[in-house]
Amino acid sequence: MSLQLKEAIKMIKTVLFDFDGTLVNTNEIIKLTLNEISLKHRGKELAEEDFDEILGKPLRDQMAHIHGCFGDELEAAYPEFLKLYRSLYNKRRDSLTKEFDGVGKMLETLYKEGFQLGIVSSKGIGGIRHGLEKFGLSKYFSTILSKYDVENSKPHPEGLLKAMELLDSKPENTIFVGDSRHDLLAAKNAGIVFVLVSWTIAGYERLRSMNPDYIINHPMDILDVIKACGKTDK
């Protein structure tokens, strides 16, 4: 460990990550599945503005957006929406779930350097486990929170606050890495540093205009962010 990283770890102890589109490349399968559902029920594919709005949200909220139904109407129809989504998603899951280049090395490095790692995702735990196990990443994480572990999804800070509590970490000792507007707002609401991944498909220019604390172009760039956060004169 470099002297600079040793100093930084005194400040940043915990790195939390979103899952879809941040750690594991599920971008193609998610867009294909949501577009198929939109074509079936609306007769057209989703616009980029639609994806900007719904990527990073729980499936229930995505279905509400696509179908335009809420409240009791959504509750009545959701089981059928869920069944359709799962059938379309699962038939492609193995072939279209891919690893982002450099993520494995980044996680291994952070883990070996003593950082606590966690996941806070709006995805179900089964999907998260599938991706982590496929690429041998499960061993690096001390805590994993899915949509089933919180009452309020991002941009509400509940998931991040709960993860910090479980890891005995304070906001000033924590950073969150994500790829969506909801990730960014959740970090701000939790009072922690937000790191945007440039490989997002959730409207990069729009996200950049929202002033994330840092932007990384490669997973290993997170080490530079941690060093920057550890500077006492910043």
User: Could you tell me if residue 222 is inside a domain?
Assistant: yes
Same domain, 136 and 71: no
Indicate if 221 and 122 belong to the same structural domain. Answer: yes
Instruction: Show which of 73, 95, 117 is a domain's final residue.
Output: 95
Say if residue 89 is in the same domain as residue 177: no
If asked whether residues 112 and 189 sit together in one domain, one would say yes
Residue numbers annotated as active site: 18
Establish if 234 belongs to a structural domain. Answer: no
Q: Does residue 54 sit in helix, strand or coil? A: helix
Domain of residue 50: give its range.
27-95
pLDDT at 20: 94
Asked whether residue 57 falls in the same domain as residue 172, the answer is no
Q: Cβ distance 202 to 52 under 8 Å?
A: yes
- State the total domains in the chain: 2
User: In this structure, what token pair is assigned to residue 125?
Assistant: 């735990």
pLDDT for residue 205: 85
**Alpha carbon distance, N-terminus to C-terminus of the chain:** 22
Question: Does residue 128 share a domain with residue 46?
Answer: no
DSSP conformation letters of 5-32 = HHHHHTT--EEEE--BTTTEE-HHHHHH
- pLDDT per position as a tens digit, 129-188: 999 999 999 999 999 999 999 999 999 999 999 999 999 999 999 999 999 999 999 999
Among 77, 95, 113, which residue terminates a domain? 95
- How many Å apart are CA 50 and CA 54, to the nearest integer? 6
Res 70 pLDDT > 80 = no
Q: Are residues 86 and 20 in the same domain?
A: no
| Domain termination site, one of 69, 95, 121 | 95
Q: What is the pTM of this model?
A: 0.88
| Structure-derived torsion over alpha carbons of residues 231, 160, 134, 26, reported in degrees to the nearest 10 | -100
Same domain, residue pair 167 and 129: yes
Q: Do 176 and 204 belong to one domain?
A: yes
The alpha carbon of residue 105 and the mean position of all alpha carbons in its chain are separated, in whole angstroms, by: 18
Q: Which two tokens stand for residue 171?
A: 């906001």
Confidence of residue 8 (pLDDT cuts 50, 70, 90): low
Residue 113 placed within a domain: yes
pLDDT in tens, 82-130: 898 889 988 888 899 999 999 999 999 999 999 999 999 999 999 999 9
Are residues 52 and 152 located together in one domain of the fold? no
